[in-house]
């Protein structure tokens, strides 16, 4: 399942302290955060690469591991790894250099760069250079490392508690997420992710990032057993509805979504069973973002807990 990996509270506090020092060092800036200021503060370099660019080989350091592959005195292994795992960003610790895939849409650069900044801030990541991977399931330890860098990126780009303070004053809707997306300057996908994880401590929420849910809009490589690119469960959802899988959620969404190729796809009340077998009502809504060719786009879905299903008790006369 494309479920978000959670990190321990102790690790989160450690990372958050490091992010706090960065934001304080920047003078507690207003959103959107300027990543060039972060690079200047941390003395990081940024360059772009393409998988077919041989100049990338000059960035190989004496000891780099990419997804458990050791690269030592064999620089071609790095290029092979980039191609094999479709890496979108790299952090080279010895050079304090962030490498971004220049073929990515520009809006994706911001999250990828912040993710690698996260690696640079977490000392136990120093010996490992990681990259985003959309196709290969990583070992559990690798998933934890990536989750830690994602947590750091989210806390950095959304200015720690500033995002939560503003989000809690608004209605939990996709329209709200779009407005916060504009203010903080991040992608709507990362804003959706941060919204659910931040506001969902006590209220069950779930979000999905997927291809178009309508059956007539599915791509040829659609996998009905793994229909979501990401399934983001809030802490409260994970605690109470942890047995609900992405297939169940996607099937609920496809029932109400229209075939539109942009904008709102529809909304509906959806009944889900909690881990005790009790039924509860969620309000789901979906929105499709259309990208410039050759990219197709992605559907964003937000599900918010409403109420338990009312029990009907029959009384005998």
Report all structural domains of the chain as residue ranges with CATH numbers, in order of start.
9-158 (1.10.10.2910), 163-308 (3.30.450)
Residue by residue, pLDDT tens for the chain (317 residues) are: 467 888 999 999 999 999 999 999 999 999 999 999 999 999 999 977 765 565 554 444 333 444 444 444 445 555 565 555 566 787 877 678 887 888 777 778 999 999 999 999 999 887 665 444 443 334 567 788 889 999 999 999 999 999 999 999 999 999 999 999 999 999 999 999 999 999 999 999 999 999 999 999 999 999 999 999 999 999 999 999 999 999 999 999 999 999 999 999 999 999 999 999 999 999 999 999 988 776 789 999 999 999 999 875 555 55
Q: What is the pLDDT of residue 310?
A: 82
In angstroms, the CA 189 to CA 268 distance is: 21
Q: Which helix (H) or strand (E) covers residue 54, if one does?
A: none
Kindly report the CA angle at 270 between 269 and 273, in degrees rounded to 5?
A: 145
Q: What is the pLDDT of residue 77?
A: 54
Contacts of 112 (CB under 8 A, 6+ apart): 88, 89, 100, 101, 104, 132
Residue with tokens 């994880």: 197
The pTM of this model reads: 0.82
């Amino acid at each position: 399942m494309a479920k978000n990996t959670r990190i321990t509270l102790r690790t989160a506090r450690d990372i958050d302290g490091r992010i706090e020092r960065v934001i304080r060092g920047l003078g507690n800036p207003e959103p959107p955060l300027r990543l060039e200021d972060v690079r200047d503060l941390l003395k990081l370099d940024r360059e772009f690469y393409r998988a077919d660019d041989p100049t990338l080989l000059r960035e190989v350091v004496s000891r780099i591991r990419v997804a458990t592959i050791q690269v030592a005195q064999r620089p071609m292994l790095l290029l092979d790894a980039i191609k094999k795992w479709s890496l979108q960003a790299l952090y080279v610790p010895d050079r304090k250099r962030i490498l971004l895939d220049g073929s990515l849409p520009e809006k994706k650069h911001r999250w990828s760069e912040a993710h690698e900044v996260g690696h640079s801030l977490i000392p136990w990541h120093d010996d490992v250079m990681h990259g985003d991977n959309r196709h290969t399931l990583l070992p559990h330890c690798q998933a934890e490392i990536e989750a830690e860098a994602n947590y750091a990126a989210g806390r950095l780009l959304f200015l720690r508690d500033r995002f939560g303070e503003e989000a809690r004053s608004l209605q939990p809707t996709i329209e709200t997420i779009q407005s916060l997306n504009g203010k903080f300057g991040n992608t709507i996908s990362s804003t959706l992710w941060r919204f659910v994880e931040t506001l969902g401590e006590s209220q069950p929420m779930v979000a999905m990032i997927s291809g178009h849910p309508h059956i007539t809009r599915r791509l040829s490589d659609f996998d009905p057993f793994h229909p979501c690119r990401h399934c983001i469960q809030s802490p409260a959802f994970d605690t109470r509805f942890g047995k609900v899988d992405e297939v169940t959620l996607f099937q609920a969404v496809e029932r109400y979504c229209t075939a539109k190729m942009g904008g709102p796809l529809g909304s509906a009340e959806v009944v889900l069973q909690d881990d005790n077998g009790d039924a509860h009502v969620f309000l789901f809504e979906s929105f499709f973002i259309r990208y410039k060719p050759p990219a197709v786009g992605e559907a964003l879905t937000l599900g918010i807990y409403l109420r338990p299903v009312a029990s009907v008790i029959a009384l005998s006369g």
